[in-house]
Amino acid sequence: MINVVGETAGEIWQLLNAEGPLSLSAIAQRIDRPKTTVYMGIGWLARENKVEFTETTRGMSISLK
């Protein structure tokens, strides 16, 4: 499972690098993995200090640092 989460984190990083800041739901829609795995991938990137979170009026935005 740890490999899947790591691969998902890589996909998320590539997506954010290409698209810029996205909401949690937009990331989950664009990554072809279960939502829980996407959330774990975001956590992986957060633990490595590679993303930052910004609260918006509509929710949460995630971007690369």
Q: DSSP for the chain?
A: -HHHHHHHHHHHHHHHHHH-SEEHHHHHHHSSS-HHHHHHHHHHHHHTT-EEEEEETTEEEEEE-
**pLDDT range class, residue 1, cuts 50, 70, 90:** confident
Predicted pLDDT of residue 54: 96
Distance CA 33, CA 65 (A): 23
How many domains is the chain built from?
A: 1
Residue numbers of the domain that contains 43: 2-64
Q: What's the predicted TM-score (pTM) here?
A: 0.93
Q: Which two tokens stand for residue 51?
A: 């993303």
Q: pLDDT per residue over 2-59, tens digit each?
A: 899 999 999 999 999 999 999 999 999 999 999 999 999 999 999 999 999 999 998 8
CATH of the domain at 50: 1.10.10.10
Predicted pLDDT of residue 2: 84
